[in-house]
Chains A and B, each alone.
Chain A
Amino acid sequence: MILFEALYVAPPALTAQAPILVIAGPLIGACAAALSPGGRTAWMVSMLTAAFALWMAVAVAGEVAREDVIDYALGGFAPPMGIALRIDALGATMALLVASIGVMGALYSGHALESEVKAEKHTLFQSGYLLCLAGFLGLVFTGDAFNAFVFLEVSSIGTYALVAVGEARDRRALPAAFNYLIFGTVGATLYVLGVGFLYAATGTLNMVDMAMRLATLGDNSAVQAGLAFVVAGLGVKAAMFPLHGWLPGAYAGAPSLVSVFLAATATKAAIYLIIRFVFDVFPEGEFGEIFLSWILAPLAAAAVIICSVQAVFEKEVRRILAFSSVAQVGFILLGVSLATPAGLSAGVFYLVAHALMKGALFMAVGAFAISVRARTVEDFSGIAREAPWSAAAFGVGAASLGGVPLTMGFLAKWSLVSAALETGEIWIVAVLAIGSLLTLIYVGRMLEAMFFRAPGRGAERAREAPVGVLAPLFVLAGLSLWFGVDATLPVSMVNASVSALVGAAP
């Protein structure tokens, strides 16, 4: 975060209000986009709003770097009565990630929507997109457990609709969206139930307050049940194994932009909230340790192995990427389950790395989808000759996913394995190694088809995507590469986040 310390990007008056503007901007933008006369205008609104949110997020990050924590009381009502935003280094990092992906997605939507979404739906699509953005940004900023639920649902309702819009390309998007809605709502309701238990035990919804009161409560079965419900509920949203059933269909069916955005931010925001609850709200104690090492770690390991195997045997590229996302969430949670500063920082670093690479991968798939209706790995044969730039970016994303050296994915896996070795959990190292190998297999299958096979006879010819699509794609792929060679920026942010969480840097 040191890099942000000297960063004053907005006038002080604006910076003071930046935390709420980050959220309010996209919310207002969502209304404006819905009301705008045509898809073009809506796109402009979307671009401007996302850029504004990013600007404000950077301003917040600067403030956080200087003051460690920002407490922002909404409407001037001081917590614990009023709703408070509370932003520490982790929140600022997540907001930067979400807002950057938001801008890239908005830029990308300029061309990518045309092939995948009906023209008359563009305005509403942009509106839903901004709604999601607002929801995720709110989620990472809020300091109030119930408020988090509201933001969770704001973003979720947006995503259900956005996934369903994918019907224009693939009607399987509709049942997938419905399925997602059922899963997501059950998850959110479980979360509310958990928060209810915590509220009953502590009488507060403010996370800081709650943490203080929980620390004095000692062992309390209502609190433990509360944690169980909260984590189960968020686990659904984070696609934590075995609660991930909604994800493959939703990612595969949604328009590419939505897959990009969901893969890079939706599961990540939920993981963020899990981390927040487990490490910030809940007091340290036996229960938390048992939960981490006997429930979270085995489930994450199962996700890594089982979903990677599923990805290996899957035929459709989007579904491969989707299963891979579940497996990668497993990698992230394995790091978190170590509960050491090193493990946690590896987990968060992995989270950022995965957001960038999966974003790039889905964007590249979307770039191909502009000109061809390729679905299976077979269909992608030889596409690198027809659309070399998109394929190159896909290759970079895939390399990062596979953990090839000089990409961010490699560093993420490296720090994960070192963290596991440090704690002496050899079985986690073994799981990571096998998971990485399986990842390489399915990544290799896709790359082999794209780069080394000739296109099938009579197949449609792909065309290179327009610059408006390639630019954000290259930014994401380029970041995966750049942070693989020089990871100073993400490492410093992640370390600051971890020391904000557990009070010790790795």
Chain B
Amino acid sequence: MNVAVTHFNYLAVVVLMMIGLYVLFSTGNLIKRMIGLALFQTSTALFYISLGKVSGGTAAIKIYPDSPEARALAAPLDPTYVQQFGVGGVVYSNPLPHVLILTAIVVGVATLSVGLSIAVRIREAYGTVEAGEIEAVARLDTADAGRDP
């Protein structure tokens, strides 16, 4: 139980990931599959972000030391903790995972758009976005494979 509380973020990531995978493989609808895929990718993004979280830390946007914001942020924290992990009196979260995930999100969006546009083309070519129906047509295509078009 204790682990579940302290590592609730990982738990959330796992749950989200499983939901994504379930959607991905349980539905035949291509659009819903893309949604599942997006959920799956998002879970990874959350995983990274929560990795980079430093307890009590703020976003890695430079805040001037001794400014009101800096003081406000440091107020609820233990001063020795701030001393140890802070930069100029402010505790920041690790910015690197944010940067990475920013990249990953861009990649994810690109994938999503390519996937959706392929789905559109499939709809045009097969008249459906249901995987089962597409397969049935594709099987016919395979069966009449011949030298003549």
Using a CB–CB cutoff of 8 Å, the interface residues on chain A facing chain B are 146, 149-150, 153, 156-157, 160-161, 164, 167, 170-172, 174-175, 177-178, 181-182, 185-186, 188-189, 192-193, 196, 199-200, 205, 315-316, 372-376, 379, 456, 459-460
Q: Is the CB of B41 within 8 A of A189?
A: yes
Q: Is the CB of A375 within 8 A of B125?
A: no
In the complex, how many angstroms separate the beta carbon of A159 from the nearest chain B beta carbon?
10
Q: List 9 A-B contacts (CB under 8 A).
A: A150-B107, A171-B141, A172-B141, A175-B131, A181-B118, A182-B33, A182-B37, A186-B24, A199-B97
Q: Which 10 A-B pairs have the closest CB atoms?
A: A379-B147, A375-B145, A153-B107, A171-B125, A174-B122, A459-B147, A172-B138, A178-B118, A181-B115, A164-B118
Q: Is the CB of B121 within 8 A of A167?
A: yes
* CB-defined contacts of B30 to chain A, threshold 8 Å: 178
Q: Which of B103, B114, B125, B131 contacts A161 (CB 8 A)?
A: B114
* Alpha-carbon separation in the docked complex, A146 to B104 (Å): 9
* CB-defined contacts of B97 to chain A, threshold 8 Å: 199
Q: Is the CB of A200 within 8 A of B51?
A: yes
In the complex, how many angstroms separate the beta carbon of B16 from the nearest chain A beta carbon?
12
In the complex, how many angstroms separate the beta carbon of A501 from the nearest chain B beta carbon?
27
Q: Is the CB of B51 within 8 A of A379?
A: no
Using a CB–CB cutoff of 8 Å, the interface residues on chain B facing chain A are 21, 24, 30, 33, 37, 40-41, 44, 47-48, 51, 96-97, 100, 103-104, 107, 110-111, 114-115, 118-119, 121-122, 125-126, 131, 134-135, 138, 141-142, 145-149
* Alpha-carbon separation in the docked complex, A196 to B142 (Å): 42
- A sample of 15 more A-B contacts (CB under 8 A), given A156-B111, A174-B122, A196-B51, is A153-B110, A157-B107, A160-B111, A164-B118, A171-B141, A175-B135, A178-B30, A178-B122, A181-B114, A182-B37, A189-B40, A192-B44, A316-B145, A373-B147, A373-B148
* Alpha-carbon separation in the docked complex, A205 to B96 (Å): 10
Q: Is the CB of A174 within 8 A of B118?
A: yes
User: Who on chain A is nearest to B37 by CB?
Assistant: A185
Q: Is the CB of B118 within 8 A of A376?
A: no
* Alpha-carbon separation in the docked complex, A200 to B13 (Å): 15
* CB-defined contacts of B141 to chain A, threshold 8 Å: 170-172
* Alpha-carbon separation in the docked complex, A193 to B146 (Å): 44
* CB-defined contacts of A185 to chain B, threshold 8 Å: 37, 40-41, 111, 115
* CB-defined contacts of A178 to chain B, threshold 8 Å: 30, 115, 118-119, 122
Q: Is the CB of A181 within 8 A of B111?
A: yes
Q: Is the CB of A193 within 8 A of B44?
A: yes
- Assess A150 versus B51: contact at CB under 8 Å? Given A157-B114, A175-B135, A376-B146: no
In the complex, how many angstroms separate the beta carbon of B59 from the nearest chain A beta carbon?
19
* CB-defined contacts of B100 to chain A, threshold 8 Å: 146, 205
Q: Which of A149, A167, A177, A456 contacts B104 (CB 8 A)?
A: A149
User: Who on chain B is nearest to A154 by CB?
Assistant: B107
* Alpha-carbon separation in the docked complex, A164 to B120 (Å): 11
* CB-defined contacts of B44 to chain A, threshold 8 Å: 189, 192-193, 196
User: Who on chain B is nearest to A172 by CB?
Assistant: B138
* CB-defined contacts of A456 to chain B, threshold 8 Å: 147
* Alpha-carbon separation in the docked complex, A205 to B52 (Å): 14
